[in-house]
Amino acid sequence: MLVCHCHAVSEGAILQAVRNGALTRRAIARTCGAGRSCQGCVPAIEAILRSQTRARVAKPIPTFAELATS
């Protein structure tokens, strides 16, 4: 699903940025560009970050390889 239309950033790209350590909205913007222009995607980015923060507390985020084999 496309989250940032201005920079064509998908949810998957944002999740990958989170896995690589981008744990704030600014870090996401620096890493993949999402949220840098019109800010329309910021609520979606923040929702993704909240869900991943809860997931990290509950269990580790799976790697791409783990997702591909499941």
CATH topology of domain 2-69: Arc Repressor Mutant, subunit A (1.10.10)
| Ramachandran assignment for 39, one of left (phi > 0), alpha (psi -120 to 50 degrees), beta (any other) | left
Amino acid at site 53: T
Say if residues 10 and 33 touch (Cβ distance below 8 Å).
no
Cβ count near 49 (within 10 Å) = 19
Say if residues 14 and 50 touch (Cβ distance below 8 Å).
no
Instruction: Give the SS3 label for residue 2.
Output: strand
Domain ranges of the chain: 2-69
| Ramachandran assignment for 67, one of left (phi > 0), alpha (psi -120 to 50 degrees), beta (any other) | alpha
Q: What is the pTM of this model?
A: 0.74
Taking only the tens place, the pLDDT of each residue in 3-60 is: 999 999 999 999 999 999 999 999 999 999 999 999 999 999 999 999 987 766 556 6
